Structure 1
Amino acid sequence: MPRIALVGVHGFGERHLANLARLEEAGALELVAVADPNPPAPGRLKDTVAVFPDLTSLLAARSNAERAADVVILATPIQTHAPLAGAALAAGMDVYVEKPPTASLAQFNDVLDAAASSGRLVQVGFQSLGSHALPAIRELVESGAIGDVLGLSAKGQWLRTKGYFKRSRWAGKRSIDGVDVVDGVATNALAHAVATGLHMAGARTLADVASVETDLYRAHDTESDDTSVIRVRTAHGTTLLCTLTLCAPEQQNPSVTVHGTGGTITFFYTEDEVVVSTPNGERRRKYGRTDLLENLLDARATGAALLSAVADTGAFTAVLEAIRTAPAPLAIDPAHVTWAGDGDDAHPVVRGIADLFERAAKAEATFAELGVPWARQLAPVRTLSIGGRPVADYQDGSRIRAVSSPRPFLHPVRTLAGAVVTDQQPLDHVWHLGAGVALQDVDGVNFWGGRTYTREAGEYIWRADHGRITASGTPEAELDALPGRPGHLREHLAWNGPDGGPVLVEERHWSWSGLGSSAWRLSLDFALSPAGDRPVSLGSPGSNGRFEGGYGGFFWRLPECAGAAVWSPAGTGEAGVHGTVSRWLAWSGTFGTETGGTGEATLVFVAPPASTDPWFVRADGYPGVGQSLAWDSPVIAEPGRPVRRSITILVADGLLDTAGIEALINQQGDPS
């Protein structure tokens, strides 16, 4: 009968004691020793169980004992896992170590080497990896039950009180006296979400991980992170996006979701429940689970595979190492945090965290990339200024997920008073990117992002057809506009298909200048030419049969604003302006600012005099304005005959009326 020793009988050690009692009663093992500087209460253990103050004492006694332990369970602080595991392995014992297996990658490699040289087994306590749901999910994915996999997301929304971080000296610490601890939401409290997500993404070993990106924050007064996004790209191209917090308004069951072109599979791993959602409906099923200690004992007896072998937690350790070496978590601005409860029972709530998690998962983006107000600010590629005052940031699209058709765009665009009048990666359409140029059908390639509308399907469907627009060569730029000298940015862009091959080449020119103290002018000119010697068709959902769905070409995604009004000489409201042709179209409202205030602003989109392109306008479902290049039929770009378009946007503070708009247009001259 296997003889077991438990090191650490308090905290999670209590659960191990209960499990050991269950298995001992079933005749599967015998608990022969425990070690803890704070011994268990009298009567808690059988008289036959030896009690030691630490593992060193236990091992010293073991060398002279006939009934020495064969397996040691380590339920001890994170920073002790590696040295204790090494000592137990050297003594010839198999090891069950709680998660995380170690506090650094170097320690992880030491434990791997010690296990290999001793020939002993090491199981890591990621209990969810014993779930029978995992092979069932793998079979569902491989069978095509949800189509092609787009990516995975892990979500954990828990709450932890001030008292939680007082339970031990190491709680909430990144290190103690120079010794790595790496406690945190992703490495400890919700580590199972990360480990389970990695397992479902096919990433187990270190070699299975291509990259790990961290975006770490805290609302508690701790060293460690409690609200974070972790993005893992696997060696075979799958992306796992983990959104984790201990600052939720209420505790929720954590989950991992596989996102497919035909549905989703969500695994609530604490409940061993799987939910499959497709257009045909929803199916739920609960599964059993193999206990990891029983699995370890079976592996000792029969050679069965470990369900959570230490080598197979290499991918998780890559995440831990990225967190360990990342900058210290940024404190979340208290203006965005609400505290509930009193004293040690008080806990912070990051406002709007649930919606932010959903948006991040859909966009496969970090908080910083989404521009969350309390997140770190990412430096733009370039900043457009007027007299030294920033009015727009230029992003190259390199951080945008592949199925959102990465491309250059402007965001945020600001009024001179600071109102932000663009949005990017919003929850409703995460492929909407500020102000720029995009088309959904370029000879069958989607340079817009998201699903593609096809005439054959008569609906939007996921296809592996997404392109990417990137800069080629060195841009010509004068980024600060001064009186009598407009700012400009001229770029050569390559529109490349899913295989990386060129489809179009573009000459794009932004120019901007001030219009007094309360308005400025932004102009865009672009020319699209075939990359080869054959014509290229430029289309839209509208040209593929979707009624009045002719978006594509220039597009400006607005943020939500209060009191929104849209009008043109042709009419008012979305119904009055969508699909019409007019010289200008205006949008006004009260917008937010980067400093948290609000600002009234008016945008005036001015078309060239000879333009016949209809306006594409959305105001009810979401706020957006475009100039339709292919409203209901494709436009052909021929070699030597590029398709050219231009538009001017007047960005003004205040709520202008029609007379004010016409005066502004006349004041600045012919925008074309």
Structure 2
Amino acid sequence: MSPPRVALVGTGGYGAVHFDNIERLVGAGGLRFAGCTDLRPPGPGLLQRVAGLGGTFFEDYETLLKAAPDVVVVATPPHRHRDMVCAALAAGAHVLVEKPPAVELADLDAMTAAATAAGRLCQVGFQSLGSAALARLRELMDGGELGEVTHIGATGCWARADAYYARAPWAGRRRLDGAAVNDGALSNPFAHAVMNCLTLAGVGAADRPRAEAELYRTRPIEVEDTGCLRLAAPGRPPITIAVTLCAERPRPPYVLVTGERGSARWWYETDVLEIALAGRPAVTERHARVDLLEDLLRAIRDPRASLACPIEDTRPFVGVVEWLADQPVRLVPPGARRRHDDESGPRNSIAGVEEDIERAVAQSRRFSELRPLPGWL
């Protein structure tokens, strides 16, 4: 049997990462390349790579779908996912769609229904859900090694330059041309942190977690670049997530699971897990990760296999994102923020925000429940 044919919609941004991965899998003999498309005209370098893989650069995704690919990777802005994913599924393709899959439940439900109607698989690109560290962490929780889990949290301390919000018309927006975008720090760059916590807490589609949020911005955008989110669902461990794109000193994000007998810290970008059990030395483990496109291909071959992140499992996440879109975003006053001009370009930071984020997660508190932060709380 010939390897399946894959097509890519969106070659910029994270789409470039998908292109590299497709190139790797084609080279290994696991895929054939049908082609790709993007709104931007392709440069000679991209055209050369496409031709080298035996593919075609299509003028639009409708034309691409007429080439009948077996698998379509959708790496476009979130507000364009619904139409593209539904069209690909209706054309008979399986789909890998980048995160966030949607920012409103109606769009997610439409894509989920389209996958069911077409009898096709739809995987969402929450890459860290393919990590063996996640399975190990679940093992620690379910096996009782951590004791009763009292809290799950996640931190995120990144620095994003002004150019980050100038990269596309939808960046930093809640709506664009009537469509929901909801491009906040919690909804997009730290979507993995939110999804990881919801997954570990076992929050499902039927759960209705109570949510509290404190959202802040340091620039003229419509969404938060700094925020704290607290979630509580009956019978589930409480969740606290605190993040910023205005760190003075960026740090890798992590998920923290705290129990009565110990804790575990998962650096989900690098699949490193640190386990600290009472009365024992801390142990650091390094785990492998399953590529989500390969995971999708495996599930296509074997109907008994389950996906790492089927689209229906992301419903709690999209519900949180939709709720966040209705919450107020407060401006951090000039006296509490700083300007930098480093190798990434001009950017903002908030003094001491990294320590406040660490404490919010460690103590399961909102920013306003910590010590007063003069000038911005």
TM-score normalized by the length of structure 1: 0.53
Q: Which residue of structure 2 lines up, in the alignment, with residue 9 of structure 1?
A: 11
* d(CA) in 1 for partners of 2:287, 2:58: 39
CA displacement at 1:368 relative to structure 2: 3.3
CA 1:372 to 1:319, structure 2 compared with 1: closer, same or farther past 3 Å?
Answer: farther
Q: Distance in 1 between matches of 2:176 and 2:113?
A: 26
Could you tell which deviates more after superposition, 136-145 or 261-270? 136-145
From 14, 17, 20, the equivalent of 1:18 is 20
Equivalence for 1:310: 311
Which residue does 2:253 correspond to in 1? 254
Q: Distance in 1 between matches of 2:218 and 2:155?
A: 18
Q: Alpha carbons of 1:315 and 1:22: their partners in 2 closer, same or farther (altered >3 Å)?
A: same
Separation in 2 of the partners of 1:78 and 1:321? 13
> How big is the alpha-carbon RMSD for the aligned residues of Structure 1 and Structure 2?
1.7
1:55 aligns with 2:54: no
Query: What letter is aligned with 1:45?
Result: V
1:366-377 maps to which residues of 2 (within 5 A)? Answer: 366-370=366-370, 372-374=373-375
Aligned mate of 2:34, from 29, 32, 35:
32
Letter in 1 for 2:242: T
Aligned to 2:364: 364
Query: Contact (CA 8 Å) 1:128, 1:270: kept in 2 or not?
Result: yes
Mapping 1:373-392, distance limit 5 Å: 373-374=374-375
Count residues in correspondence. Answer: 368
C-alpha distance in structure 2 between counterparts of 1:80 and 1:374, whole Å: 38
Task: Return the alpha-carbon distance in structure 1 between the equivalents of residues 309 and 335 of structure 2.
Answer: 42
> Residue type of the partner of 2:317?
F
2-structure distance, mates of 1:14, 1:259: 37
Larger RCO, structure (CA 8 Å, separation 6 or more): 2
Counterpart in the other structure of 2:172: 172
Is the 1:367–1:375 contact (alpha carbons within 8 Å) kept by the matching residues of 2?
no
List aligned pairs for 1:558-573, cutoff 5 A. none
Tell me, yes or no, if the aligned pair for 2:246 and 2:349 is still in contact at 8 Å: yes
Q: Name the residue aligned to 2:263.
A: 264
2:94/2:120 contact within 8 Å kept? yes
1:185-204 alpha-carbon deviations (Å, 9 max, x no partner):
1111111111111111112x
Instruction: Answer yes or no: is the 8 Å Cα contact 1:127–1:292 preserved in 2.
Output: yes
Aligned to 2:232: 233
Give the letter for the 2:132 counterpart. Answer: H
State the 1:278 CA deviation.
2.8
> Do the aligned residues in 2 keep the contact of 1:156 with 1:243 (CA within 8 Å)?
yes
Once the two structures are TM-superposed, the CA of residue 298 in structure 1 deviates from its matched residue by 0.7
Which ranges in structure 2 are unaligned for 5 or more consecutive residues? none
Within-5 A mapping of 1:163-312? 163-203=163-203, 205-279=204-278, 280-303=280-303, 304-312=305-313
Pairing of 1:514-553 with structure 2 (within 5 A): none
2:341 alignment counterpart = 341
Distance 1:374 1:299, change over 3 A: farther
- Secondary structure at the counterpart of residue 103 of structure 2: coil
Compare CA radii of gyration and give the structure with the larger one. 1
Deviation per residue, 1:356-401 (Å, 9 max, x gap): 113322332222344544556xxxxxxxxxxxxxxxxxxxxxxxxx
The 5 Å alignment of 1:574-585 reads: none
Report if aligned partners of 1:162, 1:343 keep a CA contact under 8 Å in 2.
no
Quick check: 2:35–2:50 contact (8 Å CA) kept in 1? no
Q: Aligned equivalents of 2:158 and 2:343: distance in 1?
A: 19
Residue 220 of structure 1 and its aligned partner are, at CA, apart by: 2.6
Decide whether the 8 Å contact of 1:33 with 1:50 is kept in 2.
yes
- Supply the distance in 2 between the matched residues of 1:374 and 1:178 (Cα, whole angstroms): 34
Matched residue of 1:207: which SS?
Answer: coil
1:118 aligns with 2:118: yes
Change (3 A) 1:344 1:272: closer
Q: Secondary structure at the match of 1:249?
A: strand
Please say if residues 10 and 75 of structure 2, whose CA atoms lie closer than 8 Å, have aligned partners that are also in contact.
yes
Q: Distance in 1 between matches of 2:27 and 2:342?
A: 43
Cα distance in 2 between the residues matched to 1:54 and 1:211: 42
Q: Counterpart of 2:51?
A: 46
2:155 alignment partner AA: K
Cα drift, residue 224 of structure 1: 1.6
- Which protein has the bigger helix share? 2
Deviation of 1:330 after TM superposition, in Å, equals 0.9
Q: CA deviation at 1:344?
A: 7.4
Q: What amino acid is aligned across from residue 323 of structure 2 in structure 1? A: A
Q: Are the counterparts in 1 of residues 201 and 236 from structure 2 also a CA contact under 8 Å? A: no
In the other structure, the counterpart of 1:147 is: 147
Cα distance between partner residues in 2 of 1:343 and 1:15? 22
Determine the C-alpha separation between the residues in 2 that align with 1:169 and 1:344: 20
1:353 and 2:358 are equivalent in the alignment: no
Displacement after TM superposition at 1:172 (Å): 1.1
Distance between the aligned counterparts of 2:181 and 2:336, measured in 1? 28
Q: One-letter code of the match for 1:337? A: R
Q: Deviation per CA, 1:12-59, whole angstroms, max 9, x where unpaired?
A: 111111100111111111111211122432212125312112212222
CA drift of 1:170 comes to 1.1
Residue type matched to 1:227 in 2?
T
Amino acid at match of 2:355: D
2-structure distance, mates of 1:2, 1:321: 35
Deviation, structure 1 residue 322:
1.1
| Aligned amino acid, residue 308 of structure 1 | C
Query: What's the % identity of the aligned pairs?
Result: 38
DSSP 3-state at the match of 2:51: coil
CA distance in 2, matches of 1:270, 1:344: 20
Using the alignment, how far apart are the partners of 1:287 and 1:274 within structure 2?
Answer: 8
Residue 562 of structure 1 is matched in structure 2 by: none
Structure 1 unaligned residues grouped into runs of 5+ = 63-67, 377-672
In the TM superposition, what whole-angstrom CA distance separates every residue of 1:39-87 from its partner, at most 9, and x where no partner exists? 432212125312112212222x33xxxxx20111011011101111111
The Cα shift of 1:143 comes to 2.5
Measure how far apart 1:209 and its partner are. Answer: 4.0
- What pairs with 1:485-504 in structure 2 (closer than 5 Å)? none
- For 1:97, the equivalent position in structure 2 comes to 97
Label 1:361 to 1:342 Cα distance change in 2 as closer, same or farther (>3 A). Answer: closer
Q: Contact conserved, 1:233 with 1:239, CA < 8 A, in 2?
A: yes
TM-aligned CA deviation for residue 342 of structure 1: 6.4
SS in 2 for 1:73: strand
Q: Is the 8 A contact 2:100 2:188 kept in 1?
A: yes
Equivalent residue number for residue 469 of structure 1: none
TM-score, normalising length: structure 2: 0.93
**Using a 3 Å threshold, how does the CA distance of structure 1 residues 122 and 337 change in structure 2: closer, same or farther?**
same
Q: Distance in 2 between matches of 1:198 and 1:5?
A: 31
Amino acid at match of 2:142: E
Letter in 2 for 1:275: E
Could you say which residue in structure 2 is the equivalent of 1:137? 137
User: How many Å separate the matches in 2 of 1:300 and 1:343?
Assistant: 44
* Alignment partners' CA distance in 2, 1:342 and 1:98: 30
Write out per-residue CA displacement over residues 454-478 of structure 1, whole angstroms, 9 at most, x where no aligned residue.
xxxxxxxxxxxxxxxxxxxxxxxxx
- Equivalent pair of 1:368/1:375 in contact (CA under 8 Å): no
Query: Any idea what the Cα deviations from partners look like across 1:324-345, whole Å, max 9, x if unmatched?
Result: 2223x11111211111116971
Distance 1:198 1:103 in 2: 16
- Does the 8 Å contact 2:248/2:352 carry over to 1? no
SS in 1 for 2:246: coil
